[in-house]
A and B are shown apart, each in its own frame.
Chain A
């Protein structure tokens, strides 16, 4: 049994209150083993970025617990916030905005080392060069400002910053969705390469099942704040069980022109307040679906599915 690095247990987060309450994350339970890549898929508004923010301590959960290396995150952040940062790092969606526009590339990559008091100035400068070559960035770019970089280059800088502390867990929140298609594959391959060579665990968040499948050992599909299906990566994509997963698979397969009809953005107002949240878009929906929300049930192939029509699909 591989060791569990990260575990969340029925984590929930609600923004706002009363009529305007948005239940961004509802009872999400995830686990991440040493060296594993977990893919988290769902359309925008499904709560996947909130999950990332909860894991990173940017948001605190309303209920449920998150533990990393067997220790509750709340406890980490209270007692050793900076050590926690050395364990878990992140790469975000907007590569250029994530970099301070007034700082140069060299400074930005050195920042985590300075913040955590690593090495002397000389050692840090050497380390910055090592990191730049690890993410395949030309040393010429050392003195550039972020706005002088391409999206791909900027994302490499972000990856180098995250890597500088040699984290055990890397959270990638839509790391390629803001990039040109031609650059996306390069960045994905780089991330996968680094994950293997540094033996990191990774949570990879994306709206694209195609991207996630390429990288992940396991995949969890989120819809309206909950996980609707989870299971081994390839298997889940090849034979989706939940109607929403099926929709995503179709979307990934079809051309981009008719994709919009299939996958839309979730608006909190349009969601049912009770029962299965997927009812309005579900081809299988029956009366039972509106009456109560199904549980996440594990089947024999270590696949968990949240659907009343489990047996028929």
Chain B
């Protein structure tokens, strides 16, 4: 028993490795894209427009001769960075909101839950369009719209969890010791929501990426010349017949990244429930 435990600890857990590789790779993409990108994503080279994929230009070039590979790499900052920002803010706001609702209970809880229901009732596209229209086009207003749409689902999830954790035996034991409400919440309740939160967070990075690139594709998100991925695909659509690489490579990258997060989230869920 003790022997197998030790060997398990020594060998690297594949799931941990997966998370590490993902974080490391995205960290480089977002923080220091220049290391990976062979070209300046904004420099024009009109003479070399619509160059097909080659050793020099892995993903080919676009209508103004910019290197699509470099643009995709630099675009990660906008696409994945924004997705992280959306899900990050939404989970923090949602956790605090949901925990407070569950903690206070009674009328306050019912009021807070109603507010969540109202937000959840909006179709996200229409809501995002409305916000974008009122705040003006651009990545920032789309971010605001998506955070506004996203936090209620976290609030609802965390509220349910906190409600059930509050009934657990160890919480009663802590109350008997004389722990304050705030201490119980911080020490004995919130940490128990982390597992599910992490699963949801991971799955949602993929979902937020899809939502964000979708809105960008419709022209609501990032504006040119930002190499945001949804934007890249949107621009490529006029040239799809004579430059297939322009649409395909950014599209495939979005697909792979989203799939990675969904699969990772699923694996984390299996781990946390087993």
Contacts and interface: CB of A to CB of B under 8 A. Distances in A.
B175 A86 contact: no
Name the residue among A92, A158, A165 with the largest chain B CB count within 10 angstroms.
A92
A102 B169 contact: no
B10 to A, nearest CB: 18
B178 A98 contact: no
Interface residues of B, number: 17
A63 B180 CA distance: 27
Given A58-B172, A92-B169, A102 B191 contact: yes
Interface in A26-81: 56, 58, 81
Contacts of A259: none
A103 B186 CA distance: 12
Interface in B65-109: none
B187 A100 contact: yes
Contacts of A56: 176
B170 interface: yes
Contact of A82 (B168, B178, B187): B178
B178 A103 contact: no
B39 interface: no
B115 interface: no
Interface string B168-200: 111011111111100100011001100000000
Nearest to A111: B177
A97 B178 contact: no
Interface in A132-178: 158, 161-162, 165
Contact residues on A (Cβ < 8 Å of other chain), bracket = 20 to 34
Interface in A263-312: none
Contact of A98 (B170, B179, B180): B170
A115 B182 CA distance: 11
Interface in A90-148: 90, 92, 94, 97-103, 111-112, 115-116
A36 to B, nearest CB: 21
Given A58-B175, A82-B178, A115 B183 contact: yes
Interface in A218-270: none
A105 to B, nearest CB: 14
Given A100-B188, A102-B191, A115 B179 contact: yes
Contacts of B178: 81-82, 84-86, 112, 115-116, 165
A103 B170 CA distance: 11
A195 interface: no
Nearest to A98: B173
Nearest to A161: B177
A180 to B, nearest CB: 18
A54 to B, nearest CB: 13
Contacts of A99: 170, 173
A89 interface: yes
Contacts of B187: 100, 103, 111
Contacts of B173: 90, 92, 98-99, 158, 161
Contacts of B188: 100
Contacts of B183: 115
B176 A85 contact: yes
A98 B172 CA distance: 8
A215 to B, nearest CB: 21
B267 to A, nearest CB: 21
A81 B180 CA distance: 10
Nearest to B188: A100
A300 to B, nearest CB: 39
Contacts of B180: 115
B177 A115 contact: yes
A158 B168 CA distance: 16
Nearest to A53: B172
Nearest to A158: B173
A20 B168 CA distance: 24
A84 B175 CA distance: 12
Given A100-B187, A158-B173, A161-B173, 9 more contacts: A82-B178, A84-B178, A90-B173, A92-B172, A97-B168, A98-B170, A98-B172, A111-B187, A112-B178
19 contacts: A58-B175, A84-B178, A85-B178, A86-B178, A92-B172, A92-B173, A97-B168, A97-B170, A99-B170, A100-B187, A101-B192, A102-B191, A102-B192, A111-B174, A111-B179, A111-B187, A115-B183, A165-B177, A165-B178
Interface of A: 56, 58, 81-82, 84-86, 89-90, 92, 94, 97-103, 111-112, 115-116, 158, 161-162, 165
Interface of B: 168-170, 172-180, 183, 187-188, 191-192
Closest 6 CB pairs of A and B: A85-B178, A97-B169, A98-B173, A100-B170, A112-B177, A82-B178
